[in-house]
Amino acid sequence: MAENTRKTISVPLNRVEGDLELTIEHEDGVVTNAWSRGVMYRGFENMMKGRGAWDGLVLTPRVCGICGTAHLLTAAKALDMICGIALPANAIMVRNLAMMAEHIQSDLRHGILMFMQDFLNPAYANLPIYGEAVRRYETFRGRSVVETIRMTKKILEIVAILGGQWPNSSFIVPGGVASVPTYNDIVSCIYIINLFTAWYEEQILGCPIERWQQIESEQDLMAWMNEDDAHRSSDLGFFIRMAHLVRLDRIGRGHGNFLSFGQLELPPDSAVRSRSGDALLLAPGFISDGNASAVNQELVSEHVAYSHFIDYPGGLHPSEGITQPYVSPYEAVKYSFCKAPRYAGQPAETGPLAQMLTSRHPLFLDLVERYGPSVYVRELARLVRPAELLPAMKTWAGEIDPEAPFYHSVREIPDGLGYGLTDASRGALGHWLEVKKQQIERYQIITPTAWNGSPRDHGGIRGPWEEALIGTPIADPDNPVEAGHVIRSFDACQVCAVHLLKNPRRGNGRPACLRV
Summarize pLDDT for 454-510 with one digit per residue, the tens. Answer: 999 999 999 999 999 999 998 988 888 998 899 999 998 743 223 333 344 444 443
Let me know: does 487 contact 11? Beta carbons within 8 Å.
no
* Domains identified in the chain and CATH numbers: 19-271+280-501 (1.10.645.10)
Q: What's the CA gap between 361 and 376, in Å, rounded?
A: 16
Confidence of residue 65 (pLDDT cuts 50, 70, 90): confident
pLDDT of residue 7: 28
The burial of 9, by beta-carbon neighbours within 10 Å (0-12 exposed, 13-18 middle, 19 or more buried), is given as middle
CA 42 to chain centre: 20
Percent with pLDDT over 70 in the chain: 92
- The better pLDDT of the pair 197, 43 is held by 197
Instruction: Supply the Cα-derived Rg of the chain in whole angstroms.
Output: 22
Assess contact for 72 and 172: CB atoms under 8 A.
yes
- Exposed / middle / buried, residue 290 (Cβ in 10 Å: 0-12, 13-18, 19+): exposed
Reported confidence tier of residue 286, pLDDT bands at 50, 70, 90: very high
From CA 71, how far away is CA 53, in angstroms rounded?
15
What is this structure's pTM? 0.92
Tell me the helices (H) and strands (E) count for the chain, helix number first: 18, 16
Render pLDDT for 170-184 as a digit per residue (tens, 0 to 9).
999 999 999 999 999
Under the banding of pLDDT at 50, 70 and 90, the label for residue 9 is very low
The per-residue pLDDT of the chain, averaged, comes to: 90
Q: Mean pLDDT, to the nearest integer, of 29-35?
A: 89
Query: How far apart (Å, rounded) are the C-alpha atoms in residues 268 and 406?
Result: 14
Give the mean model confidence (pLDDT) for residues 301-327.
Answer: 92
Nearest C-alpha neighbor of 204 from the set 438, 342, 387: 387
Q: How far apart are CA 147 and CA 142, in angstroms?
A: 9
How many degrees, rounded to 5, is the angle at CA 254 between CA 253 and CA 257?
110
